[in-house]
Chain A
Amino acid sequence: MNYDSKRLERYQLVTINVPAGSTVRQWYFPDQPDLRDAIIQHISAYHADLVSLSPQNLTVISSADLCNAYMVLNIGEKEDIKIPLNNFIVLGEPISSPIYNVNGYIPLADLHIHWSKSYIQFAAPYAATQFQIMFGVFYKN
């Protein structure tokens, strides 16, 4: 079942940089001026099996690393959503890229997200190479 019927109003790509040699588990979103007053409708997550290079020509997070991560969204000064990141993947196919949500986009309840207080949390720090965590944000004003 595809349980989201919202139409696209606006879309923006959001990235979080994870530098090489990092020793922390939490990565906060950079401030998103264009999304400050936005109503968030749904989010799409990407990994390197889908999109290997970001627009900045940097490596995108691997599917294995993405599956060890949670997204914590701050809404109304509370961390109301703590969700496995791979719930937000809607691109894939059963054999070569089987990690995706068969329900399609998760319909968010027209959320006002405080981006700079929201973050991605990994099971363990990733110290190897630089990569970017990349999301598509569907929103309206």
Chain B
Amino acid sequence: MQLTNYQVAKYDTISVPFPALSGQTKIMFPDQPQLRYVKTFGIELPAMNFDINGNTALNCLTTYLAKSYVTLYFEGKEGCYQMPLLELKSTEAPAGAGINNIRNVNGLITFNGQKIVWSKCYITLANATPFGSNSVFIFGVYYNN
């Protein structure tokens, strides 16, 4: 949906750490105290190569985008179960090619004010896909109190 009926009041990014050479296929979100009781109105996968702290991001790498899913916990259950990360990508990657340019042509996926329990959310990879250095997955969250 396009942001026609929603005006942005607050926005934050979440960096989900993926340690160097990790073979894990389930990556938990770190707790997000600042987002603990807030209403979520949109989540996106920014087309960025680095997070705000300068960590390498996996958001634009085909290897990961083609096999990664996100599960979000809210209202007492996994209310969003195994959504492909690409579904959350609504901007093209910088100087991208192929899958890097793929985005959701519908635009940002908007939420209905759900209160997400971030520490129970996770990313699933179809198989072990180690990365050479410490890296992160970045998520952008549109929210309000």
Contact residues of A with B, CB < 8 Å?
A: 2, 4-13, 44, 46, 49-57, 90-93, 95-97, 100-102, 104-105, 136
Contact = CB atoms under 8 A, between A and B. Distances in A.
Contact of B2 (A2, A53, A101, A136): A2
Nearest to A89: B105
Contacts, number: 101
Given A6-B1, A55-B69, A57-B126, A104 B84 contact: no
Interface stretch (B50-58, B108-116, B132-140): B108-116
Most buried by B among A2, A6, A10, A136: A10
B79 A101 contact: no
B87 A49 contact: no
B66 A51 contact: yes
Main DSSP-derived SS at the B contact region: mixed
B82 to A, nearest CB: 4
Contact of A8 (B66, B92, B97, B112): B112
A21 to B, nearest CB: 23
B42 to A, nearest CB: 9
B67 A52 contact: yes
A95 B107 CA distance: 18
Interface in B91-121: 92, 97-99, 101-107, 109-112
Main DSSP-derived SS at the A contact region: loop
Contact of A7 (B1, B80, B86): B1
Interface of B: 1-2, 4-5, 41, 65-67, 69, 79-84, 86-87, 89, 92, 97-99, 101-107, 109-112, 124, 126-127
B112 A7 contact: yes
B106 A49 contact: no
Contact of A2 (B65, B67, B81, B107): B107
A63 to B, nearest CB: 12
A104 B107 contact: yes
A7 B107 CA distance: 12
Contact of B80 (A8, A52, A56, A57): A8
Nearest to B72: A11
Given A4-B106, A9-B112, A96 B84 contact: no
A11 B109 CA distance: 11
